[in-house]
Structure 1
Amino acid sequence: MRASCSHACPRRHAALAACLLAGLSGCATVGPDYRAPALDAPANWIEADATRPGGDRDDLRAWWRAFQDPLLDRLVDRALAHHQDLDIALARLRQARAVRIQVASAAMPELSIGAAGEAARGSDALDSPPGGRARAWHLGLDASWELDLFGRTRRAVEAADAGIQALVEDHRALQASLVAELVSDYVGLRAAQLRLAIARENVGTLVDAERLAERAYRSGLGTLADVMQARAERETAQAQPPLLEADIARLGHAIGILTGGFPGDWRAALSAPAPRLPRPAGLPLWLPSDVIRSRPDLRADERRLAAATARIGVAQAGRFPAFRIPLGIGTAASAIHDLFSGAGLAWSAAIQGSRSVYDAGRARAGVAAAQADADAARSVYERDVRAALGDVEDALTAWTTERQRQVSLREAAADSQRALEQATRRYAAGLSAYLPVLVAQRALHQARDALALSELAELQGVVALYKSLGAGWTDAAPEPATAGSEAPETTATRCTGAAGRSAWPACGRAGAPVPAR
């Protein structure tokens, strides 16, 4: 590679050499160029028949709104705006962007300015030369530039950029996880409130059954044992509501903390009656390859692999010579008014090069350590991809299983209700003992409670599916770039050209970024 310096460089030999080195700076970049790993993903899901393909990504961005619950929408908005973990993630991102500026500054000259004045008087007791007075003034500008001939700084900036992108994806993954946890707690609280209502209805029914047993005993149609058994059943049922009330309080406390407040902040709002959350008829689902490209935690893993690969180049560049160009220009004069005259001008220029001859294998070990770190990052990415696909399959299985169970549970609850009504009529007419009433009452309560738990499990399966898809985060960068720094690379800029399409898995086949969810 040639560098033309005839117009820009002085004709002195030292300055010419410096210019040639400056022209060569940036020509060589050691270390491997990053290529995103290509993973063989399954063509479809095992439970794919239970879902409809595709799906509106805008719906997935705010998927919790499908529950049509204004209070839930307020809770999620509050959590995304005030949760402390998100604030911590943003602070880490600001820190990384500041560090990136520090790293990139190594490629630029370092300038300093200095001024000095001194006065001296010689001793009159000396024979030669005789004593006298002297003054000197100095004003100068010093510059030092380390040439990035082998790409050490460029690889370090590349690693810093990838690290920033990983932190952006971490912030998005935290958003998705926070939303899923909040919605799961909210669904659990509403289910606990439903179970509490069922338990209280069961207590009321058992109170009526106890009165019926007492009337039958007084009329000679029942026994004292029936009364005692009915009373014991009612007392046992009365022990369940306090447990459910504790669950409701615990989930309410968790929701208050998740929204960035205190445990009791939402107590009044959560205690108000609310309609049952709708059961989704179907769920949108992407292909496995789309999930890999879209889940923010996997995107963060891929960016960390890119950063680790760039650090191999940083370590390899450390094994090559380092070249530095110190420059100095200034004036010196005995009188301050002569500082800016041509006679006082002085300058210096040099080229310095150095390379370690013996370091006991430190540089070679640094390269080996960087390579091992990149290998580990690649394995982490591949492991997390497989775990993510497993999360989707588990969520689909849980969702479809609960939908199948609910068919039987609903029929069981209806049959138990009819059995209780018939057993109660027979006992009131003196045609049967009290035991059939007790058995029917227990069966009805268990069927209704099991149905409520199944509906909770189904909704939690929905939440788990959206979380496993990586839904619930915003596309926009969570923080603007620090003033004076280069803006971090976005998906749109990464996907420009063939190099972007091959190096960044979020790019589509045509080079456009994956549409916003």
Structure 2
Amino acid sequence: MARIRFVLFMLFLSSLGVKGQQAEKYLSHPLPAGWQEQDAMFQQALPVDDHWWKVFEDVTLDSLIRVAVKQNPSALMAMNRMDMAKANLRIMRAGYYPSLSLDAGWSRQQTSGNTGTGQSQSRVGYFDAGVKMSWQADVFGAIRQRVKAQKESFAASREEYNATMVSLCAEVASAYFNLREAQQELGVLQRNALSQKAVVEITEVRYNTGLVSKLDVAQAKSVYYSTLASIPSVESGIIQYTNALAVLLGLYPQDVASSLENSHPLPDYIEPVEVGVPGQLLLRRPDVRAAERQVNAQAALLGASKSDWLPSFFLNGSLGYASHDMKDLTKRSSMTWSIAPSISWTIFNGGQRLNAVKLQRAQLDETINRFNNTVLTAVQEVDNAMSSYRNSIKQIVACREMVNQGKEAFKLSLDLYKQGLSPFQNVLDAQRSLLSYENALVQAQGYSLICLVQMYQALGGGW
């Protein structure tokens, strides 16, 4: 009966062991054949795998990511966790080998002569030295399965490290684009402030010559000072984004401020993106691969818990020397040895093994459900990022036309006002609108870049 149970158990284990490319068997539903967003902006070629940020052709961004990869604290902690998992794997593999110990010593004892046993008082002393060995034979694979579980856990820690690096590169790129966006917004405010100051001077000239009332001057100044009042908050945002980048790089803010203080235009990137197909996420996204490894590890632990139902075989032995006199310790006649094979089979332990198997099976089901949830989330994130990027491109196109028309409206209204053919209110409206339009364009460009970064991250872009 035990032999039949062992065979069934090994068949069950073989059905659980899977490779990374066979992760589909864990899916509760097949992955869709394509994405919801299907247009010319997205191609079903294999996405760029390494250094996706180089498409922006920004050397500053390239250098920031290189520094972050080397010394970001979160990345270093992920590497530490990977080293710990590797050490645990080596500890578990030690179960394959026997345990050896060396013992040596000297003892001396005296027996009582007044215990009523008829023996006289005596003293005995001897020297001994020897090697002891203990080894558990892995007949039914309990150790092997636990080693396999730890091996899969180590592989999962490597994938978690990769996921940390993918996330880190995306965070650095996002913080960098937020910084550049804030700097561009500051430039928009400063340019509009200069333009509005010129309008104030025009109204003052016209007021001094008696062509308009002082109301025009007051209204022009209100718009001008409103723009100036917006500058400090943007400058504060620039400092905050710089500090955020410094933390991601594992540096202090003063170490990076000088290299980022000069404004730099946002990359003008509006290109088709290679996204592949949903099924490729199983091979590309580190979090999906890590979830799969965790399922494999839990399956191995379930197999190990089942093997605990079967007997364990041990081999113990020793070899050494013992002698009353030190000079006789290494003689052949002083040699001692023993060998003791044994078997241990727990017949009853209050249902502990049965419930241990149930626990491992429930944990396996949990990791499978977690894997499915990870895959569903991955597909959702890619679809969301694709939709956001596509619509952000539409927004940029509309904002550019909006800015062009705003500039034209401001120019025409100012010319008509100078000629006395239009009220000053038209100039005020045109000023406010132009500032709003230019800010909207900068924000749309920054948002589009963030969406693109999020899409590369969702696709599991390599670092």
Q: What is the TM-score with the length of structure 2 in the denominator?
A: 0.91
Distance between the aligned counterparts of 1:31 and 1:271, measured in 2? Answer: 62
- Paired residue for 1:499? none
- Paired residue for 1:453? 443
Equivalent residue of 2:255, what SS?
A: coil
Q: Look up the equivalent residue of 1:300 and give its one-letter code.
A: A
Say whether the 8 Å CA contact 1:29–1:151 is kept in structure 2: no
Of stretches 156-165 and 438-447 in structure 1, the one that deviates more from structure 2 is 438-447
Distance between the aligned counterparts of 2:448 and 2:361, measured in 1? Answer: 45
Instruction: Name which of 118, 134, 140 aligns with 2:130.
Output: 140
Instruction: Name which of 32, 44, 47 aligns with 2:13.
Output: 32
- Paired residue for 1:83? 72
Instruction: Name which of 406, 421, 429 aligns with 1:416.
Output: 406
- Paired residue for 2:461? 471
Say whether the 8 Å CA contact 1:329–1:346 is kept in structure 2: yes
Query: Is residue 242 of structure 1 aligned with residue 223 of structure 2?
Result: no
Equivalent residue of 1:323, what SS?
A: strand
Distance between the aligned counterparts of 1:244 and 1:349, measured in 2? Answer: 81
Deviation at 1:345, TM superposition (A): 2.2
- Paired residue for 1:348? 338
- Paired residue for 1:481? none
Deviation at 1:447, TM superposition (A): 1.2
Within-5 A mapping of 1:312-327: 312-327=302-317
Instruction: Name which of 371, 377, 382 aligns with 1:387.
Output: 377
- Paired residue for 1:161? 151
Query: Is residue 119 of structure 1 aligned with residue 112 of structure 2?
Result: no
Of stretches 191-200 and 402-411 in structure 1, the one that deviates more from structure 2 is 402-411
Equivalent residue of 2:131, what SS?
A: strand
Deviations, residues 21-80 of structure 1 (Å, cap 9, x unaligned): xxxx99x858623234414222122223212332574xx311112211211111100000
Say whether the 8 Å CA contact 1:122–1:133 is kept in structure 2: yes
Deviation at 1:129, TM superposition (A): 4.5
Deviations, residues 417-450 of structure 1 (Å, cap 9, x unaligned): 1111111011111111100111111111111111
Distance between the aligned counterparts of 1:296 and 1:69, measured in 2? Answer: 26
- Paired residue for 1:51? 42
Deviations, residues 82-119 of structure 1 (Å, cap 9, x unaligned): 00111111111111111112212122111112122233
Of stretches 92-101 and 77-86 in structure 1, the one that deviates more from structure 2 is 92-101
- Paired residue for 1:301? 291
Structure 2 unmatched runs, 5+ = 1-5
Structure 1 unmatched runs, 5+ = 1-24, 474-517
Say whether the 8 Å CA contact 1:54–1:285 is kept in structure 2: yes
C-alpha change, 1:350 and 1:206, in structure 2 (3 Å) is same
Deviations, residues 168-189 of structure 1 (Å, cap 9, x unaligned): 0000000000000000010111
Query: Is residue 443 of structure 1 aligned with residue 433 of structure 2?
Result: yes
Deviations, residues 334-358 of structure 1 (Å, cap 9, x unaligned): 2223222222222222222223333
Say whether the 8 Å CA contact 1:29–1:149 is kept in structure 2: no
Q: Look up the equivalent residue of 1:51 and give its one-letter code.
A: F
Deviations, residues 393-439 of structure 1 (Å, cap 9, x unaligned): 11111111111122221111111111111110111111111001111
Instruction: Name which of 185, 196, 212 aligns with 1:195.
Output: 185
Distance between the aligned counterparts of 1:333 and 1:30, measured in 2? Answer: 54
Root-mean-square deviation (CA), in Å?
Answer: 2.2
Equivalent residue of 1:457, what SS?
A: helix
Deviation at 1:121, TM superposition (A): 5.4
Aligned length, in residue pairs: 447
C-alpha change, 1:125 and 1:285, in structure 2 (3 Å) is closer
- Paired residue for 1:482? none
Distance between the aligned counterparts of 2:222 and 2:423, measured in 1? Answer: 17
Query: Is residue 149 of structure 1 aligned with residue 139 of structure 2?
Result: yes
Equivalent residue of 2:225, what SS?
A: helix
Distance between the aligned counterparts of 1:411 and 1:181, measured in 2? Answer: 31
- Paired residue for 1:3? none
C-alpha change, 1:321 and 1:31, in structure 2 (3 Å) is farther
Q: Look up the equivalent residue of 2:13 and give its one-letter code.
A: P
Query: Is residue 170 of structure 1 aligned with residue 160 of structure 2?
Result: yes
Equivalent residue of 1:239, what SS?
A: helix
Say whether the 8 Å CA contact 2:157–2:290 is kept in structure 1: yes
Between the aligned residues of both structures, percent identity stands at 27
Q: What is the TM-score with the length of structure 1 in the denominator?
A: 0.82
- Paired residue for 2:213? 223
Instruction: Name which of 327, 345, 360 aligns with 1:337.
Output: 327
